Structure 1
């Protein structure tokens, strides 16, 4: 797979940014917790870095063709009344085959628990929930503090504001840094991973069209079709990104960081790769 100079330039910039973020985490102790101000500073740079890496993977996957194994429909699991009977306190006798199956499932679960869990960089942008109801934030100084009008000493004191040096759990932040590092170290492998996702998406959409056509011919009404993700990018601004200096709506060029320029360029590469696939 050939990597264009534009992708290579942004890849090198992301590698330098990742090294800086890892150094910031180690400066804060590199343990399970980080100071609140340092945790927020790393997170503000990590979000656009993840979005930029995701778009570089999409751009690098342009023109890749993968062959998927033949589709095998999932067999429905037979429904058993044993859990219901056990919940009612009724003893259930297991056959030798059921006992062997349960023992194999237990050993497989124990083996999965011993393996280290690896977090991969998500290839899809997180979608915004249109039905999310934002809760109104009430500052601490606006919360009623009077418990009783009869007692003047019943005034509740204001809670202490969060300190920037408070320890914050950084385990999830460390996993995301490791996932970003693995994705940047293996950009061709991540591109093939995205090409497989795209091939599975196209195959699933083709099966859905066939199911709708078969339901229409048999006059059975609408067929049950799952809602599937069509585009790996969400509409609007990329997650964690700001306006670029090349954007006509950018009114505060001083607030534009280097990662914002990287993300804007990577987003343009990804959009071009999705709109004009290489069919040669």
Structure 2
């Protein structure tokens, strides 16, 4: 069936295949300019997949044991150490506010005569477009994108389980005191505001890619699917 979701998935498969070809299969490092160009397109591609998965999960029927299975599997996954991604993240990363990254080139400027030995401060390296960057994690994200695009049903099933668990928890919260509400609980797989990787108005139109058009369309489909759930 030729649906808007299928058309977007087909277009995204072509885009991701081009990105994989640009990254190269035998290259462990990439020049900085190529790495940044790929990352500029990988972020919206992942966001498109998440939104199309929301639409696919809308019509999925879950078994009675879905909540129990989801809870055990997801807790084990969240408790594991951070490793290379094997699938597209299920939830949008939230924006970070008020977190300044510490400088990697900062040194202590306090010295005591006769106690601390003077030393020369190493000059700061200015990033160059041809600097080589480790692309292991970026290629793992591309591989995860390809796997999900070949078969999006497992990720859609995870999304359906997550949404079923959320409805179960919200119903339990309404039945209890308001003081027991978990303030840090996610209530939507999408983050507020613009999606990750959206095309900002400050960028040149020449930097806009087909994947940004797909992201805008997928955002509309996901919002409609979440506001008009399947009641059949």
Q: Give the 5 Å matches for 1:216-227.
A: 222-223=179-180, 225=182, 227=184
Unmatched segments (≥5 aa) in structure 1:
75-111, 138-154, 214-221, 244-248
Tell me, in whole angstroms, the C-alpha distance in 2 between the residues paired with 1:178 and 1:11.
16
Count of aligned pairs between the two proteins: 206
Q: CA deviation at 1:210?
A: 2.9
Map of 2:47 onto structure 1: 51
Unmatched segments (≥5 aa) in structure 2:
72-79, 104-119
Residues 1:211 and 1:30: Cα distance change in structure 2 (over 3 Å):
farther
Residues 1:118 and 1:240: Cα distance change in structure 2 (over 3 Å):
closer
Residues 1:171 and 1:254: Cα distance change in structure 2 (over 3 Å):
closer
Map of 2:93 onto structure 1: 126
The answer on 1:202 being equivalent to 2:167 is yes
**TM-score under structure 1 normalisation?**
0.64
Q: CA deviation at 1:242?
A: 1.0
Aligned Cα RMSD in Å?
A: 3.3
Tell me, in whole angstroms, the C-alpha distance in 1 between the residues paired with 2:181 and 2:230.
33
Residues 1:119 and 1:70: Cα distance change in structure 2 (over 3 Å):
closer
Q: Give the 5 Å matches for 1:171-186.
A: 171-186=136-151
The answer on 1:241 being equivalent to 2:198 is yes
Map of 1:144 onto structure 2: none
Tell me, in whole angstroms, the C-alpha distance in 2 between the residues paired with 1:266 and 1:126.
17
Tell me, in whole angstroms, the C-alpha distance in 2 between the residues paired with 1:240 and 1:276.
25
Residues 1:42 and 1:269: Cα distance change in structure 2 (over 3 Å):
same
Map of 1:268 onto structure 2: 220
Q: Which has the larger radius of gyration?
A: 1
Shifted more, 14-23 versus 161-170: the winner is: 161-170
Map of 1:257 onto structure 2: 209
Tell me, in whole angstroms, the C-alpha distance in 2 between the residues paired with 1:157 and 1:251.
35
Are the aligned partners of 2:30 and 2:135 in contact in 1 as well (CA < 8 Å)? yes
Map of 1:143 onto structure 2: none
- Cα offsets for 1:92-142 (capped at 9, x unmatched): xxxxxxxxxxxxxxxxxxxx99xx976221121101134x244699xxxxx
In structure 1, the residue corresponding to 2:229 is in which secondary structure?
A: coil
In structure 2, the residue corresponding to 1:128 is in which secondary structure?
A: coil
